[in-house]
Amino acid sequence: MTIAPPIKREMHVVHSRGDKVFRGIVTAGAMTSLIILGLIGAFLFGRGAQVFSQYGLKFITGTNWSASTEPGIANEFGMGPMLVGTIIVSIIALTFTVPMSIAGALFIEFYAQPRVKKILTALLDLAAAIPSLIFGLWGIQVFTNIGQRWASLLGNRLGFIPIFNTISDNYGRSPFVAGCVLASLIVPITTSVAREVYSRTPRELIDTCYALGGTKWGAIKTVVLPFGKSGVVGGAMLGLGRALGETVAVYLVLNLNFRYTFKILESEGGNVASLIATRFGEASTEELTALIAAGFVLFLMTLGVNMIASAIVTRTTRT
């Protein structure tokens, strides 16, 4: 006698009505933010599309941005120098931010007295939430003076290195100073993320370092820094995402200048956000379209950086 093969039965997970309602609410919440993001992207692209089709790649690489109000004279829109400026200023900012944030986070987490630690943590999280405009204004007051001194020092001593080379001696309105202001703006958020990641280092791993005859610095080097590595990278990228789109600091410091420049002490430069802020008020219809297109490029850039950052942070928390 042959035994009939087992027949698979269908199974269904049945959700109660309450479950369904709740699921609907949270799904709607999640979707709303996605939809808003999508709509912003679509709006920027839609309004700027004409510029993309008209100028093509030249919009990204071109170095001339001239809008004429008089009919008959052709407009020209190329945002290349602003893109490069965005990246340069952001790199300068990160150069200051990353070491400062790591050191600050390690101090708060491992060296500060418990009470100091509590206060600093609260202050830091608060600082990370302060609008960038406030930081920008403060930074400009401070760094056009201090940063100028640092910049002139760099220019005088290291002027033989091309990027520090400069012909003018007006350092106060240079990408270097803008980068300093930006750094003061993103240090809190980066430090905050770094501290958070360091604080999740398993206590047992740190104890093990001590139990093996290690010092505190040994434990930090062996366990804490490797553990927090990708978290800090993620935090820096989040800061960078902020830096890329930062308007005020750069707008107030830099003289907009449409030339590719890598001389970070020269009094020229700019970034995409400051371009938009500078030109928006008096823009013609056509220039407005071009500015919106520039906004779309910046939108993509920031979105990309943030996506990479969150991917890195997710990877840390998983391991």
Partner 1 sequence: MKASTVSQRIESEGKIMSNTSAVLEMPEQSFAGLETRGVHAWFGNHHALSDVSLQFPARTVTGLIGPSGCGKSTFLRLLNRMHEFIPSAAMAGEVLLHGQDIYGEGVDAAAIRLKVGMVFQKPNPFPAMTIRENVVSGLKLAHIKIDNEDDLVENCLSRAGLWKEVKDRLNASGGSLSGGQQQRLCIARSLAVEPEVLLMDEPCSALDPGSTLRIEETIKELAEKITVVIVTHNMQQASRVSDYCAFFLSDGGPGALVEADQTRKMFTNPNDSRTADYVQGKFG
Binding region for partner 1 (CB under 8 A): 114, 202, 204-205, 207-215, 218-219, 222-223, 226-227, 319
- As a whole number of angstroms, the distance between CA 104 and CA 42 comes to 40
* Residue 211, token pair as written in the block: 């139990």
Tally of CB atoms within 10 A around 285: 7
C-alpha distance from residue 148 to each of 2, 177, 243 (Å) = 92, 7, 20
Helix, strand or coil, per DSSP, at residue 299? helix
- As a whole number of angstroms, the distance between CA 10 and CA 58 comes to 59
Nearest CA-CA partner of 189 in 98, 86, 88: 98
Burial 300-318 (b: 16+ CB within 10 A, else e): ebbeebbeebeebbeebee
Contact present, 84 and 65 (Cβ < 8 Å): no
Helix, strand or coil, per DSSP, at residue 78? coil
Helix, strand or coil, per DSSP, at residue 173? helix
Cβ partners under 8 Å of residue 311, min gap 6: none
**Nearest CB to partner 1, comparing residues 19 and 207:** 207
